[in-house]
Chain A
Amino acid sequence: MTKAINLRLKIWRQKASDAKGAFETYDARDISVDMSFLEMLDVVNERLTLDGREPIAFDHDCREGICGTCGSVVNGRPHGHITATTLCQLHMRHFKDGQTIVIEPWRSKAFPVIRDLVVDRSPLDKIIQAGGYISVTTGGAQEANTIPIPTEQNKMAMDAATCIGCGACVAACPNSSAMLFIGASVSHLALLPQGKPEAARRVLSMVQKMDELGFGNCSNETECEAECPKEISITNIARLNREFIKAGFFSTEE
């Protein structure tokens, strides 16, 4: 038989962006330790709904840790206390019977709350739109094996490309910086020969957009790396800085 536990939840409730929010307390009873964190919230919501109360709004979709939709701050840690794990892959076996769990949304000026635990992360899309791509029009590509890419370089690019855009790095950062997110994108593309022609323009434009959107600067707190569910390394921020300096000094891009 699987074990069940009882929990006390303190959850941030906020009706809308312009409404005032507050913590409310709920009891979650008989929670199987094999449940995921989001399944635990499902159970709570089912109860709330049947009691005629408003269920807790939270974002989620794939529940496999890859789409980047879910994420809340759990006991002060984005995606909870288990490393390299999204909230949907955090299982209740990591909590103790009788424990109090505080659940709140990502806190960042750049991510306004939409409702309860749901925030607006569209600024991350806007940063990608500022240059996080390779300009290749469909149909114009050369034969795929024309340019060999050394495995080590390809591996580093892939490591950076595994970013799921969940925003935990921003939520973890005391400055609400998006440098790890941008660093991952800039590194991934700058490491590949296909991404080199636009590297200078890309990095300048993305960093400028980040500043415009109200994200803070990086002051090497490394909280982002610690909380990233995909373990994106802060060496990507170092590479971002190098690319930025290179672009500023040696390219003709403005």
Chain B
Amino acid sequence: MTLDAKIPAGPLENKWDKHRFELKLENPSNRRKFSIIVVGTGLAGSSASATLAELGYNVKTFCLQDSPRRAHSIAAQGGINAAKNYQNDGDSIWRLFYDTIKGGDFRSREANVYRLAQISNHIIDQCVAQGVPFARDYGGLLTNRSFGGAQVSRTFYSRGQTGQQLLLGAYRALSRQVASGQVSLYPRRDILDIVVIDGKARGVIARNLITGNIETHVAHAVVLATGGYANVFFLSTNAMASNVSAIFRAYRKGAFFANPCFTQIHPTCIPVHGTYQSKLTLMSESLRNDGRVWVPKRPGDKRSPDQIPESERDYFLEKKYPSFGNLVPRDVASRNVKDQCDQGKGVGETGLAVYLDFADAIKREGKESISQKYGNLFQMYEKITAQNPYETPMMIYPAVHYTMGGLWVDYNLMTTIPGLFAIGEANFSDHGANRLGASALMQGLADGYFIISNSIGGYLAGTRLNDVAVDHPDFRSAAQRSLERIQRLLSIKGKRTADAFHKELGLILWEYCGMSRNDAGLTKAKELVHSLKEEFWNNVIVPGINEEFNQSLEKAGRVADFFEFSELMLSDTLARKESCGCHFNEAHQTEDNEALRDDENFCHVAAWEFNGVDQEPIFHKEPLSYENVVLTRRSYK
């Protein structure tokens, strides 16, 4: 099978316009004859559901939380990028495009990223019209902050709660469509399988998390907006229930999985403090605008930070990267933090932390100004650590945060299964090997509000679809298989909880597939994961029954999928014998320990096809061609 990304011909600036013109249209009175399933209600899922419903499609929207407003987009803190150039500081669509391509270390598609930059400005307009209270200056106009990987100020924000405000905007738009009857809402549902009939996605199998009922839902197209797979590491900044199951089930049904080795490790998180810990908390990257990162110059220096004089502090990011300083991209910052800690210069009880210091900023601007910008983040930090960051520097350490990999999609955001679309973090498309800060919100909303609404119409208008009902044998057999898997999990009655297995899996991946990777470690990790998976299926204990509200069962199903998925992730990591962005293979580095790309052999998307359980997946390559930018070694010095 050849991978066709369906990128329109012509100049970069005109591709999206031309493509929208060429896509077949479904006329308004016909749209109501189609139903579309959207799974997930984060920024991508909520905005897609609302927009598709506005166009007249019948939308069925699923989420696993009790309300669509809870999706983890809500926790995004820092902001959303757009090329408005309100600051007159030299920004443009082209610069946002270039920064994003470069930030991704030249492993994303030009056409997709350019479209993203073009749409970015419409997103801000849309959100303001919905009542999103973005930060404003005294004249009442919108204001911006800077973010990593950019030298312009283009990030729009609502205090440290931008994700919350954008998600609630999309949730309101969704609620309006629920009220109009155009969206049917199915909260507290897990998606157990994707149903493919005659080669096309035609529905899903869902479990009602309250009753345990296995439900079948038919549609003309299915959109997965289920987020990323960072929780495969157990400890991450994702919400507890975030999982890979829906996209992994799609992979098992024939959708290719692209670049699963690209996982973003965010530099500024609250350090790990105990084995009971259930998740990690991000401190927004925006803090690096004003916070200075440092460690003591002398390894093993255990003095408290106020006892260490200026001359004995190492501001290692400012020193090594004078032009970007503390605002280098996330992958670069994380690796340097790890490096300092590996040299024994880490601080805090565990030695796995560095300081993020606001003393200079408070001296310069005053406590009031700093509190206006970051008040809620400082408060959150103090709640968790019982330390006051206005008085003593924060301690931070990198943590798994976001996944650039995801289901392979073409320019229409359609996977290799016709009629199955993936949007937001669930797809792989726009961030290459490293996502820049404030770009996730931009991509989720671009996909949901502006892209899928066009491309799904083109699919439905140009495809013959037979009538399918829920009693179709493929639906019945898929439901049966899902139920059998649940019964199998319940019947093992072993001696370790799913949580315990998940923790151990996470530790293996963090150790061997985290910030720094090598072939020997990855090979070892594959063996460890495989034998742990075997043990899971023989020794997990899942209390209760299917026909009840059973959180242990939900968790066990997700962990089972994480096991299979992590094997795929390790295969991809091993196959990419270069370093790029977040993927740092120790065998491929420059003299000063920066990632060393191999554009000759690895300037491609790795798309993996399922080939049976316990079989190596089949590799497919989508070469990346750059017609508008020159591939350079990323330098933030």
Contact = CB atoms under 8 A, between A and B. Distances in A.
Interface of A: 2, 15-16, 32, 34-36, 38-39, 42-43, 46, 49-50, 52-55, 57, 59-69, 84-85, 89, 91, 93, 114-115, 118, 120-122, 124-125, 128-145, 148-151, 154, 157-158, 161-162, 164-165, 188-189, 192, 194-195
Interface of B: 47, 50-51, 54, 65-72, 74-75, 84, 86, 122, 124-131, 133-142, 158-159, 161, 164-165, 168, 171-173, 175-176, 178-179, 185, 187, 210, 239-241, 273-274, 276-279, 281-282, 379-380, 383-384, 386, 449-450, 453, 495, 497, 499-500, 541, 543-544, 548-549, 551-552
A129 B67 CA distance: 12
Q: Most chain-B Cβ atoms within 10 A of its Cβ — which of A59, A114, A120, A151? A: A151
B543 A52 contact: yes
A132 B172 contact: yes
Contacts of A122: 66-67, 187
B207 to A, nearest CB: 15
Given A34-B274, A66-B74, A118-B549, A50 B541 contact: yes
Contact of A144 (B125, B171, B175, B499): B125
B44 to A, nearest CB: 13
Nearest to A160: B133
Contact of B69 (A57, A59, A131, A165): A165
Contacts of A59: 66
Contact of B276 (A32, A60, A68, A138): A32
Contacts of B127: 144
A24 B128 CA distance: 49
A58 B551 CA distance: 9
A124 B50 CA distance: 19
A55 B278 contact: no
B17 to A, nearest CB: 14
Given A64-B380, A144-B128, A53 B278 contact: no
Given A52-B543, A134-B129, A148-B140, A91 B384 contact: yes
Contacts of B47: 138
Contacts of B500: 46
A181 B114 CA distance: 41
Contact of A151 (B136, B274, B276): B136
Q: Most chain-B Cβ atoms within 10 A of its Cβ — which of A54, A124, A128, A162? A: A128
Contact of B130 (A118, A129, A136): A136
B236 to A, nearest CB: 11
A188 to B, nearest CB: 7
Given A91-B383, A188-B133, A62 B72 contact: yes
A114 B70 CA distance: 18
B68 A151 contact: no
A138 B449 contact: yes
B75 A64 contact: yes
A89 B128 contact: no
A134 B165 contact: no
Contacts of A138: 47, 50-51, 54, 126, 173, 449-450, 453
A64 B281 contact: yes
A161 B173 CA distance: 15
Contacts of B548: 15-16, 115
B126 A129 contact: no
Given A64-B380, A67-B239, A144-B124, A150 B175 contact: no
